[in-house]
A and B are shown apart, each in its own frame.
Chain A
């Protein structure tokens, strides 16, 4: 550890005279959050301060994008959040389309919505397993992954990939879906609906789970908004912040869905929000499948996409974790002058220190799990 970091940790909180020691929750984690390092200052069992050390997964994606053409950048966006790759693809595509005034055809928009919602379900299922595993219940992880396999099968059917799709492109999607996709998707939704009830039975009202997550890590709405919290985590505090409702993109204003809000702001509320969102996603996909009509899936665009000189665009969208923003600055060439990814996990992680002071060590895992963090988003 460098002197700067060490002095900040040692000097920040006044010593209470009891034996305080600094512990490293190292970059290698048994939990599936990724390569995140937390330096925790403890007084016995109680946490005095948590300092996240970032940068272990920094791949300079933003710098790389400055040297790639706009379509080439889409491959990199998959890696920004590989658990929820479709939504990042979409965010970049929307920003580039706004920059260059391209309009994707309707079929492409509906397909984009279907895949983003399927991706949201897949991401929430992985979160469900990881959160339960952090708390100590090891079985729900396998149940979540079992369902996720079916969604990944649908993705593989369409674009050949299970994790990093490169499917949603500027101007539309890569390729049209196979003829039996709609029927297979409906079959999956019918299979999946009762499974959500199974998961709720297992975890939601389990007394041990309630004790571990109720009242732990409470985020008040004011603190949440001020600290840049977003997504299902902020909806757990009762703030209506869904970008799909606030600034509707694609055709979200043409379909009916509820924004899931819970009032308490603790880990349990955030858990409940995501479980309810699973059901909402199923309903959204059903509506989109009905409105799907034949047509082209890619807009007519010039062969080389050039942004107008001295142009810029900032588009916010709702990824599985929260608000995903992409800021593009164009300079008249086929490559972006600047690309910035505003990721939900980066802003959410800031609150970890505030929420865990005075709590026990095991609560770090509970709070971190309820934030649904993905470290590649934090570091980019």
Chain B
């Protein structure tokens, strides 16, 4: 008897605590959030597995090869096989590492990029949480990767990993500035930071932002590729001739988390580019009569952008480190600032209609 009433009292206390501290009015709200998070996590993981397969197939066909075609139909289960291999691999750790940062770095890399998916609108109103500072939130969150990289380089107790980590961090930090600056004209025009509202603005505008803001779009794609350490900006990845980069001393699942983080960064950047510049879940022009849900348009555009970023990797040679920094600071930033000035001037003269 006592036991039973104690249990009910404890449950009531927990609910009261949840109500006060987490604002959960009903159990169903909590369950809602949990279900959404699990769905996002599961969906993203599946999507990233598909993307790894897509990258291998795209690169193969661009190079006159076939790519994976043995594991599963068309080689679709190849990523699953790779994931299983990585999980059962021996976890080799350097002896003199800094234990806690070494453990945390891949987790931070993965979680930080994953959190960016919270504000992406997949369809009208279909967002996990439509923050009214959505873009600012994304930019802030992606800066966490710098911390992860520096932590990984430092804690590995390896001079070359540290140097590789420094270089990568310098690259990411320098390319964040043009990234943000290229989004500013759009924010000035729409007056809002929420991604869903930006997409709705493009609907009322009648055209996607890529048309008036083509320069901002190009700067955004370039900076996003550099942010994700992808070719032609892949000095940290491909410096395996000399310096292995920040992830030299990681093996198995930890290594997998770094690369999962890289792919999710690509997804997040492409999703932001699609929402801000390519009209998000809006249908293609002249095809609005088709009975296709907005989600499908969004996924199509997303895949197109990701294909573009993948094509970059297999077409261009690599930039040297100093050329990379020169390009970011001396070319992209002045053009982005110029773009802001011109947009601002046009907005002043023509009012909000521009």
Do the two chains touch directly in the complex (Cβ atoms below 8 Å apart)? yes
A163 on the interface (CB 8 Å rule)?
no
> B residues bordering A, Cβ < 8 Å?
62-65, 159, 231-232, 234, 238, 240-242, 314-323
Q: Is the interface of B mostly helix, strand, loop or mixed?
A: loop
Give the chain A neighbours of B159 by CB distance below 8 A.
21
* Complex contact B315–A136 (CB within 8 A): no
* Complex contact B316–A208 (CB within 8 A): yes
22 contacts between A and B (CB under 8 A): A23-B242, A30-B241, A45-B321, A136-B231, A136-B232, A137-B315, A137-B318, A138-B63, A139-B63, A139-B315, A142-B63, A142-B65, A143-B64, A202-B315, A206-B317, A208-B317, A208-B319, A211-B319, A211-B323, A360-B322, A361-B242, A363-B320
A135 on the interface (CB 8 Å rule)?
yes
Interchain nearest-CB distance for A29 vs B (Å): 7
Give the chain B neighbours of A139 by CB distance below 8 A.
62-63, 314-315
Indicate the member of A132, A142, A206, A362 with the most B CB atoms within 10 Å.
A362
Known contacts A142-B64, A143-B64, A146-B64: A29-B317 contact under CB 8 Å = no
Which B-chain residue is minimally distant from A46 (CB atoms)? B322
Q: Bound complex: CA of A146 vs CA of B320, how far in Å? A: 28
* A187-223 contacts to B (CB < 8 Å): 202-203, 206, 208-209, 211-212
C-beta contact mask, A118-136 vs B, less than 8 Å → 1, else 0? 0000000000000010011
Known contacts A25-B241, A211-B323: A136-B318 contact under CB 8 Å = yes
* A13-54 contacts to B (CB < 8 Å): 21, 23, 25, 29-31, 45
Interchain nearest-CB distance for B333 vs A (Å): 19
What is the total of A-B residue contacts with beta carbons within 8 Å? 64
Q: Shortest 6 CB-CB distances between A and B: which pairs?
A: A136-B318, A137-B317, A136-B317, A135-B317, A142-B63, A362-B320
Give the chain A neighbours of B64 by CB distance below 8 A.
142-143, 146
* Complex contact A209–B240 (CB within 8 A): no
Q: Bound complex: CA of A170 vs CA of B234, how far in Å? A: 51
Q: Bound complex: CA of A339 vs CA of B240, how far in Å? A: 40
A365 on the interface (CB 8 Å rule)?
yes
Interchain nearest-CB distance for A239 vs B (Å): 28
Q: Bound complex: CA of A273 vs CA of B232, how far in Å? A: 26
Q: Bound complex: CA of A95 vs CA of B202, how far in Å? A: 77
* Complex contact B321–A360 (CB within 8 A): yes
Give the chain A neighbours of B238 by CB distance below 8 A.
136
Give the chain A neighbours of B323 by CB distance below 8 A.
211-212
Known contacts A139-B62, A142-B63, A143-B64: A212-B320 contact under CB 8 Å = yes
Interchain nearest-CB distance for A267 vs B (Å): 12
